[in-house]
């Protein structure tokens, strides 16, 4: 069994660690944002080693797989180095800061025998897999339209701050890139259809935010406690966006992202309407799937392996009524990736998000940014 | 007390009649689509008289108020004649087929001492009035974005047919005009802010429908029973639309309309996100208002006069937990109009939808149609 | 068409009036708690006449039907007088204060050619009729158990006062009699099965309440405004009760009533579990029916005539998604009664609550009271 | 760090294993129902060792903690042996088959320096901890009544079979003991109040079930596949029960258990009504807490550490909107126990379910069984 090293000790790093442990994987150590932080994180997480720098991971012969949960701007370089060092890679989204970077990574990955995945974990909610299986089986008929939103409130106040709000740290786009890409990846995964054209309207609702002198972990700003001194900083990334969509199958769509929507904590919703039925899901009630019918009562499917299609049942570990949630999606995603690694497959099985999916995200984001700037429809370039 | 004549005996005519009766108003009679149908309708509804034609209503000196629930293309002419004959008018939406017609009506109405309202009944759900009062009081702070949808499924199948699907009967736009305008009127009413710019994407999902040889009443197609023979007819009105919005206050928005969304029967949803909180409402659960907070638990207000603001309490006739619904909105709308009539006011009180609101609807629809055709943002002309 | 007189001008009187008007019935006038109040109520309601006393109604030859919405203790005597005067009667529940009174009334009614109904309006929610039709058709199989509750909060504070809390005004039981009997009537109506044995545990949670010097209308206590001076009064009626049930079919059950359950405004819930499926309903979301399945997804039926059984469709006036509520149930109940009156039927059609049902309520209440006092199971006497 | 051995490889064994791994605990091996099954389970779970018998665990000096997820009737003896061998014990519920057994265990445990917990995992849903903290802080005022249910459908059909339905395997009571005890433990934990008196009505809805020739894992019967041949067997354990409750504080209550309630997969609901507010929770939507108010809008608290009391925040690992579920409750329970073990505490901290709680469960079950048999109220003996 190959061992794994973890890069990043912020919000999502421990999520990876816990999922790896549930699967019984060995984790060699963790790399934080400094050698000192690595040591502290290793102790806190109960890991054998705090790496002093990324090179130590590359040089560690016991490490077969690297998980990247570092800040966005580090992803591309770390992916490149890890692949070149012969490690398998699981990279948090986004894969890179630009589509030229992600295209390079995609090309590089094609030349190595290693597997490389991007962590679109939302796909792995069992009922999302159920949606995908139902659509693939034709139960919805032709897809007419796909609508929804991904909304949060953790950046509602101007005193809410995180590296992600800074274009230079997180990228040109923020709400679209951080959460909108989850939505876009998900609905394309579910429908098996690509977004071909976008028309976007974005807004930086809070053009000035108060930056604390220290750094702030994602989602931690809301916790009670003493607030540090701050300084105003101009923000150029969007808090809000709504985007019209055309799909390759002719389907239409629209969705909204916002990080200033009071009361919505982490709420990804979609509704997919087809000629034979509709499906709706809400990440804040992830164990329920609404199934809309025209000529008979609607259905409400509670996540239950006994009632789900086989493709979805295999990512549902617990019986009906025994809720699974956010941490379980990482377990299921990783299980799929590590199964392919253990079986020495030459590529990821269908359905597991690959660097091609990661590259596609960048193309979509760039088309969205352009559409907003030019106030017009923009065609998304083909990934090839 | 002035008496009322009812024009139209289809789906919405009896809704008006029932609401008038709840208020204790006298109704003189009804006009159907032919003298024979008028007589049949009068008998069925228990009304004294079936009018042979519209002129008989104009000539009836006992009639002080005319309710127009005739097909859309008859509205403008009937409004004109009724106002000229000195009758007060309550016209179903849309007020006219074009904005030049509606502008003329608006001008005409300004020259008469009669009151003229358009039936945007959704405003009169008590919790919608609560939303308006809360926003007016500043509870939501600055409005950031307004999103939502109005979706139905009664036109999902190509065998679903109604005069509304034909551009020549219902107008150039259909889903947008029939239900989208309710949404647009509502959110402008609630926020006290005008939509200034639109960017629309529409689609006729079913470009051919099967027309039965006879006519079909709205919503009746779904009822079980023998289906008549049909013939194919090309459809040029949209089944689906998604529209990006800019508001006069700087707020952003987006909404979707669809009449082919399986499982949604008559589902108008909005979510209004402001700097201090959010509000969400669903017409399929009209007695519940979701109130989103960032720093304390969200709230779920059950319609309850004891817990509502005074402006909303006065349209809530029943105590908390005693649900009110669709028919009650007409009662509340009419109560407001007739109170103004009885008190011989020279104009409608604020909040009651006027011909100006009806004219605004036409301007919005024309901008939406143009935006879709030209695939670009369009500025909505000022009503003046 | 026979005309109707209304007795009572409190909370429920106007509800009756509005429903009568929706049906196009003539209402001659109203009797309040004094001649002066009658005149005031007649003016307020727009009725021709305020009766000085009950005898005036009995003597009014234009009155064919009497609606009794007077305080509970007046019901039996007014029923008796009205029937003897040859009037049809619709009596609010409870029919009487004791089962010997209600048995007498039942016997008297059997000797007259007049119809006599008791206002168990909850039966007439369209989805309750759907439940009844589904159970009658065998869709649920054998009924295993029936559980639920009827809970409110309008008597939560010791300053909440109403004549109903006084045993001498409302009767020995309160929460059970006022709302529990609605639940009991409903589930027996839905399942077609009688409650045969009860085991009850009741509690007066607030043994002392503050009585205002004036009288207080039902549900009005919660409205804002100046509060009158009060005096403490000992309360002997129950705020809470839970009751175990055996049904004639062998089914088991249990339900809870409370008028001190904060946040529940008027919340009647039931869940009926059978060998083939389950049904659950909540009066605070009356347009939704949950249908539980073991081997396929659960269903959520939105009230929609197109999707309902014929017995339920005929009490659903509005299309799917156009919510109906509490006031509509009175319309549907009265429609059934007046149809029987107009057709000069010799007895009420099945399903319309009769004096036999009203008598049964008293037998149930007396068994519940005895069970609580003696802390043991009690068999409910047969109605005969 | 002490290592752990796992006894039992059925439904709940792997749940324990996964939770232990999330916490970074070492697990030495597993004991199945035979030496062969132990080896198979060890391989399947990726554990070093399959124990041949329980004695091997007792003799394994590397084992410091034993988790018992064996069939109910083995619990008492295994607890006794493990404690005597100097191991810490986490025992699945029930602790024993009779209260005399559990009393002995409780006494024995008092004489050892080892910690011993019973797995009432439901307590550890973060919002359940929130309920406990809110009640402890007085936010609900005086508790008036506690109602609810725990219902499932996995034993709806007579072909549903599991060792739990047999009194000799699972104990005299089944639905009450298996799931009802979770409910009873939970509400006593939440309210800090003991159930003192019970009045129960139980029913074996399916008195004959079809037993397959092989054994059947809990919850697995519903999965699709070939069904084995069966033989009829008489069932003496209850499928359904409803129970009236008195609490030591004077509060009243009632709850229902059923394992034949179609559509409810694993649905534990409670509603706690106090003088200042109410709280309601449903295990099928475990990340939502309904907070009922009389004089202001109700609240709906989404599990969010930033919005929760500190006692609850410490068992909520993920930010708001990132759902946690059933598996997370075991992680939180075990974290508390192992923290006490690691810190060599002499007893479990308050709130962690102890052998005293496990003993109390047996006393309650015996009182419930007696109450049902004798059709009367029964006082629950004090645990001492």
How near does any CA of chain B get to the CA of C110, in Å? 32
Contact D322 A324 (CB under 8 A): no
Contact C325 B318 (CB under 8 A): yes
Q: What residues of A are in contact with residue D302 (Cβ under 8 Å)?
A: 265, 284
For D300, which of B295, B300, B306 is closest by C-beta distance?
Answer: B300
pLDDT confidence of residue B222: 57
CA dist A139 and A47 (Å) reads 47
Residue ranges of chain C with pLDDT lower than 50? none
Q: What residues of D are in contact with residue A305 (Cβ under 8 Å)?
A: 223
C346-369 pLDDT tens trace: 999 999 999 999 999 999 999 999
Q: Are A280 and A288 in contact (CB under 8 A)?
A: no
pLDDT confidence of residue B143: 98
Contact C265 B152 (CB under 8 A): no
For A298, which of C295, C296, C300 is closest by C-beta distance?
Answer: C300
How near does any CA of chain A get to the CA of B157, in Å? 8
Contact A157 B244 (CB under 8 A): no
How near does any CA of chain A get to the CA of B271, in Å? 9
Comparing CA positions, the residue from C290, C255, C294 lying closest to residue C276 is: C294
pLDDT confidence of residue B169: 84
Q: Classify the phi-psi angles of C192: left when phi > 0, otherwise alpha if psi is within -120 to 50, otherwise beta.
A: left
How near does any CA of chain D get to the CA of A222, in Å? 6
Q: What residues of B are in contact with residue A144 (Cβ under 8 Å)?
A: 205, 239-240, 258, 260-261
pLDDT tens per residue across all 384 residues of chain D? 899 999 999 989 999 999 999 999 999 999 999 999 999 999 999 999 999 999 999 999 999 999 999 999 999 999 999 999 999 999 999 999 999 999 999 999 999 999 999 999 999 999 999 999 999 999 999 999 999 999 999 999 999 999 889 998 888 899 999 999 999 999 999 999 999 999 999 999 999 999 988 665 666 655 666 667 899 999 999 999 999 999 999 999 999 999 999 999 999 999 999 999 999 999 999 999 999 999 999 999 999 999 999 999 999 999 999 999 999 999 999 999 999 999 999 999 999 999 999 999 999 999 999 999 999 999 999 865
Residue owning tokens 């290693």:
A114
Contact D275 C156 (CB under 8 A): yes
Q: What residues of D are in contact with residue A325 (Cβ under 8 Å)?
A: 287, 318, 322-325, 328
Sign of the alpha-carbon torsion through D95, D100, D105, D106: positive
pLDDT confidence of residue C218: 61
CA dist B5 and D356 (Å) reads 77
How near does any CA of chain D get to the CA of C144, in Å? 7
DSSP letter at A207 equals: S
Q: What secondary structure, in 3-state letters, does chain B show?
A: CCEEEEECCCCCHHHHHHHHHHCCCCEEEEECCCHHHHHHHHHHHCCCEECCCHHHHHHCCCEEEEEECCCHHHHHHHHHHHHHCCCEEEECCCCCCCHHHHHHHHHHHHHCCCCEEECCHHHHCHHHHHHHHHHHCCCCCCEEEEEEEEECCCCCCCCCCCHHHCHHHHCCCCHHHHHHHHHHHHHHHHHCCCEEEEEEEEECCCCEEEEECCCCCCCHHHCCCCCCCEEEEECCCCCEEEEEEEECCCCEEEEEEECCCCCCCCEEEEEEEECCCEEEEECCCCCEEEEECCCCCEEEEECCHHHCCHHHHCCCCCCCCCCCCHHHHHHHHHHHHHHHHHCCCCCCCCCCCEHHHHHHHHHHHHHHHHHHHHCCCEECCCCC
The CB density around residue A69, as the number of other CB atoms within 10 Å, is 24
Chain A touching partners, 3 or more CB pairs below 8 A: B, C, D
Chain D touching partners, 3 or more CB pairs below 8 A: A, B, C
How near does any CA of chain D get to the CA of B47, in Å? 43
B305 — contact with chain C (CB < 8 Å)?
Answer: yes
C195 — contact with chain D (CB < 8 Å)?
Answer: no
D264-321 pLDDT tens trace: 999 999 999 999 999 999 999 999 999 999 999 999 999 999 999 999 999 999 999 9
How near does any CA of chain A get to the CA of B196, in Å? 14
Comparing CA positions, the residue from D360, A160, C2, C308 lying closest to residue B224 is: C308
pLDDT band at residue B366 using 50, 70 and 90 as cut-offs: very high
DSSP SS3 for A277: coil
pLDDT confidence of residue A149: 98
ipTM of this complex prediction, to 2 decimal places: 0.95
CA dist A304 and A302 (Å) reads 6
CA dist D90 and D99 (Å) reads 18
Query: What number of helices (H) and strands (E) belong to chain A?
Result: 12, 17
Residue ranges of chain A with pLDDT lower than 70? 214-227, 383-384
CA dist C149 and C280 (Å) reads 12
Percentage of chain A modeled with pLDDT above 90: 91
For A292, which of B144, B240, B264 is closest by C-beta distance?
Answer: B264
pLDDT confidence of residue B1: 86
Q: Chain B residue with minimal CA distance to D299? A: B299
Q: Are B3 and B26 in contact (CB under 8 A)?
A: yes
Contact B199 A199 (CB under 8 A): yes
pLDDT confidence of residue A80: 98
Q: Chain C residue with minimal CA distance to B154? A: C320
D275 — contact with chain C (CB < 8 Å)?
Answer: yes
Angle at A85 between CA A84 and CA A89, to 5 degrees: 80
Token pair of C214 as six digits? 């004036």
For A301, which of C295, C297, C307 is closest by C-beta distance?
Answer: C297
> Residue A138 CA to chain centroid, in angstroms?
27
């Amino acid at each position: 069994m190959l061992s794994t090293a973890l890069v990043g000790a912020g919000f999502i790093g421990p999520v990876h660690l816990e999922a790896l442990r549930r699967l019984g994987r060995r984790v060699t150590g963790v790399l934080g944002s400094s050698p000192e932080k690595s040591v502290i994180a290793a102790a806190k997480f109960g890991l054998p080693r705090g790496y002093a720098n990324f090179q130590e991971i590359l040089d560690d012969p016991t490490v077969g797989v690297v998980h990247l949960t570092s800040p966005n701007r580090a992803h591309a370089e770390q992916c490149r180095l890890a692949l070149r060092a012969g490690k398998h890679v699981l990279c948090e989204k986004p894969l890179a800061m630009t589509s030229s970077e992600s295209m390079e990574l995609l090309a590089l990955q094609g030349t190595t025998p290693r597997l490389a995945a991007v962590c679109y974990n939302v796909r792995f909610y069992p009922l999302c897999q159920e949606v995908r299986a139902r659509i693939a089986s034709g139960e919805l008929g032709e897809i007419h339209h796909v609508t929804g939103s991904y909304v949060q409130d953790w950046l509602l106040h101007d005193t809410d701050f995180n590296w992600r709000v800074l274009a230079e740290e997180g990228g040109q786009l923020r709400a679209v890139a951080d959460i909108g890409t989850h939505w876009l990846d998900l609905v394309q995964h579910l429908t098996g259809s690509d977004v071909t054209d976008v028309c976007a309207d974005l807004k930086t609702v809070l053009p000035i935010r108060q930056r604390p002198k220290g750094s702030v972990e994602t989602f931690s700003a809301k916790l009670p406690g003493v607030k540090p001194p701050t300084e105003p900083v101009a923000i150029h990334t969007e808090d809000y966006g709504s985007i019209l969509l055309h799909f390759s199958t002719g389907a239409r769509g629209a969705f909204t992202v916002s990080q200033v929507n009071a009361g919505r904590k982490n709420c990804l919703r979609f509704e997919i309407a087809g000629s034979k039925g509709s499906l709706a899901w809400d990440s804040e009630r992830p164990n329920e799937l609404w199934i809309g019918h025209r000529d008979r009562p609607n259905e409400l499917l509670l996540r239950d392996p006994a009632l789900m299609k086989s493709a979805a049942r295999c990512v549902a570990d617990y019986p009906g009524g025994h809720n699974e949630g956010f941490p379980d999606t990482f377990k299921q995603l990783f299980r799929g990736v590590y199964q392919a690694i253990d079986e020495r497959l030459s590529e990821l099985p269908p359905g597991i998000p690959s660097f091609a999916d990661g590259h596609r995200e960048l193309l979509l984001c760039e088309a969205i940014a352009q559409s907003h700037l030019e106030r017009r429809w923009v065609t998304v370039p083909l990934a090839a």
